[in-house]
Amino acid sequence: MAETRSGIPLEPVYGAAQTHAVHADEPEAPGRPPYTRGITPLMYLEKPWIMGQYAGFGSAGQTNGRFKELLKAGQTGFSVALDLPTQLGLDSDHPHARGEVGRVGVAINSLADMEVLFDGIPLQAVRQIRTTANSIGHLWLALNVALAEKKGQDPNATRILIQNDVLKEYIARGTQIYPPRAGLRIVADVIEYCARHLPSWTPLSMSGYHMREAGANAIQELAFTFANGIAYCDAAIEKGLSVDDFAPSLFTFLTADMELLEEVAKFRAARRVWDWIMAERFGAKNPESRALRIFAFSAGSNLTAQQPLVNVIRVSLNALAAVLGGVQTLHTSAYDEVLGLPTPDAATLALRTQQVILEETGITKVVDPLGGSYAIEALTAEIESRVRVELDKIDELGGALRCIESGWFKEQIAESAYRIQNEIDSGERGVVGVNCFVVKDGEKGPDPFAIDPAIEEEQVEGLRRLRKERDNGAVRDALAKLERAARDGSSIVPPTIDAVRVYATVGEISATLGEVFGAYQPDSVV
């Protein structure tokens, strides 16, 4: 019998007998619990999803230019790709940053870079501004607050989404800085600050994307993501918040993968499971706490260096699955990013993919157009059931934090990744251009986008000027206050904002916290 990529058996023909669902006795309508069919009654008929392309490279000035190009092309939101040193809390002149400055994202060292990054961009008119900040979620918050103040604007007037999901870094991505319990504390501080002071912001986007990219299947993607989400909710509630104080603002960040039917069902099942978690586990009273908002990102792991133009088709199908599944925000990958940073033309084409789906296919004229399909309803119910079983198993093992510390999450993902690779190597799973329909002669991909090596030198020189011209006494005082807050258990967010205001750098703030929290050392290696 055929199976989905997650190992769910597929019937050759589906009928009414296979569509029994956990919530079959409840009315299924868009905008009502359990939100299987969408989180609002009219979905895209009322408002299209946010087209939020992920972009950033080199210097703040170069990225500013790319953002303006994308906004001019019709993009309605954007995500700031930060370079690896920034994500790891390192300044551009740190020895470990050498050779990585501006390579896979933009280098942001201080408020001075933020002033350049968003110069001339009408932030209040952009529907959503996201970033990959996870271990440095508190810093991204502080940088945006301080920037708004410099512009004389209300920070709450912008729509900032902070990914701020540090737990998945220990599982699948690797830009963690501090030990897991310290990382979880910082995330909770950010959630608390936003709930009390920045209610229009999204303080957390629970991320399954990177776990899926590392080899997790669709069931693991949802289960591990929501297990982390439960840990974040518990930590925020321990700080004195009620779940309804912050849950309505939360997002989840999921993959839009290649198996279209399973992916559509996955997005529908994700909303069901989150509704169940919020209602049964946390007793949420506000319906918006139970309505899961989804940011989908087309699967980068599906892109191939062989016959790269074929990636245009893959990305189109990924995007179609996300829209049919009812997501709120979508990024579509550029076909050439498997070779390097996307070229401007490829980035524009990726955006056009979303625009064609919206304007030309007609699928947005009906809410949940695949709802009622025997196959989709059966897969939705099966995915929900399997995710709930997996969540029970995680609870038995002690919860997400314990599964991170023991290495259990990594082990499960490694086993799944091994199975998938074996299927590709054996030819059981076909990948066009890799193990079937291979072109051996004359194949040439596009030239990758090149980063000027002079950017690193310019960034380092800018740091030298900053440290010379700023009030270093004020910086020392601000960092001392930050250290005291970290030691006495107070929220680190207000002193982080104060430090950013006086142009303390990302590296200086992170090093100060490192003196208190220490550095992450894994207990197990898979």
Alpha helices in 361-453 (DSSP H): 374-396, 400-406, 408-426
Q: Does residue 414 carry a pLDDT above 60?
A: yes
The CA–CA distances, whole Å, from 248 to 20, 290, 364 equal 29, 7, 24
Average confidence (pLDDT) over 459-465:
96
Q: Are 515 and 482 in contact (CB under 8 A)?
A: no
pLDDT digits (tens, 9 = 90+) for 349-403: 999 999 999 999 999 999 999 999 999 999 999 999 999 999 999 999 999 999 9
Q: Does residue 300 carry a pLDDT above 70?
A: yes
Q: Does residue 454 carry a pLDDT above 80?
A: yes
Q: What angle, 0 to 180 degrees and rounded to 10, lies between the N-to-C axes of helices 506-517 and 137-150?
A: 140
pLDDT digits (tens, 9 = 90+) for 135-170: 999 999 999 999 999 999 999 998 899 999 999 999
| pLDDT for residue 12 | 93
The CA–CA distances, whole Å, from 406 to 183, 211, 403 equal 16, 17, 5
Q: Are 124 and 80 in contact (CB under 8 A)?
A: no
**CA neighbours closer than 13 Å in the CB half-sphere of residue 401:** 13
Sheet holding 205-207, edge to edge: 160-162, 128-131, 77-80, 50-55, 329-331, 293-298, 251-256, 205-207
Confidence of residue 224 (pLDDT cuts 50, 70, 90): very high
| pLDDT for residue 442 | 55
This prediction has a pTM of: 0.94
Residues 195 and 207: their CA atoms lie apart, in Å, by 20
Residue of higher predicted confidence among 23 and 195: 195
Exposed (0-12), middle (13-18) or buried (19+): which is 132, by Cβ within 10 Å? Answer: buried
Residues 316 and 349: their CA atoms lie apart, in Å, by 11
Token digits of residue 289: 């706490």
Q: Are 330 and 51 in contact (CB under 8 A)?
A: yes
Average confidence (pLDDT) over 101-129:
91
Confidence of residue 260 (pLDDT cuts 50, 70, 90): very high
Average confidence (pLDDT) over 469-493:
98
pLDDT digits (tens, 9 = 90+) for 303-331: 999 999 999 999 999 999 999 999 999 99
| pLDDT for residue 22 | 45
The CA–CA distances, whole Å, from 266 to 248, 253, 272, 273, 389 equal 21, 13, 10, 10, 15
For the segment(s) 41-426, the CATH number from 3.40.50.1360, 1.20.1630.10, 3.20.20.240, 3.40.1780.10 is 3.20.20.240
Domain boundaries, the chain: 41-426
**In Å, how far from its chain's centre is CA 477?**
34
Residues 455 and 183: their CA atoms lie apart, in Å, by 31
